[in-house]
Amino acid sequence: MEVNDFMKRLSTVGRWMATAVLCVLAIAFVWQGAFFSKTTAMAAPAANLIADTDIASEVQGKVSKDAGRAKSFIRDTADKVEQTANKNANRVERATDDNGSFVERKANRDAARIERRAEEDAARTQKAVDNTKNVVERAVDNIKDTFSK
């Protein structure tokens, strides 16, 4: 029994080591590709700065595009939450025969509160997306300014 447990542990350690080696090799290949993909840029520093400016503009464009997508997703999510709250309130109204009961009033208050919170959360999250986008764009601008001097 003891030998069998030892073999299982040894097998587990072997799998972990093989996984670690494969990960290190994958990182090494990616790293090598990153360093040697622009050999002409290493030989011509001016071309490198132009390429970096293009890359910086590309990064800023991607950040703006992704921020727009994120904000759109946030807006869609808030709209879905509001629709679901209204749908549930309407179901309660239909179930109570639209008689203005306590349960119906409570469902309508809950729906209104959910809508308000969804709007507040969406606005707060969209503001955070804008702030993050602005931070990234300022960082890219600062890096461009540093290398252009």
Is there a single domain that holds both residue 49 and residue 110? Answer: yes
Give me the domain span that covers residue 49: 41-148
CA distance 93 to 100: 8
The pLDDT tens digits of the residues spanning 74-123 come to: 888 899 999 998 898 888 888 887 777 888 888 889 989 999 999 999 99
Q: Express each pLDDT in 41-60 by its tens digit.
A: 555 554 454 455 677 778 77
Domain co-membership, 71 together with 112: yes
Domain count of the fold of the chain: 2
Do both 15 and 68 map to the same domain? no
Tell me: do 12 and 60 sit in the same domain. no
The single-letter DSSP state of residue 96 is T
Distance in angstroms (rounded) separating the CA atoms of residues 128 and 124: 6
- Residue from 48, 31, 49, 32 nearest 40 by CA: 48
Asked if residues 76 and 101 have their Cβ atoms less than 8 Å apart, the reply is no
Domain match, 138 and 86 both: yes
> Do 20 and 71 fall within a single domain?
no
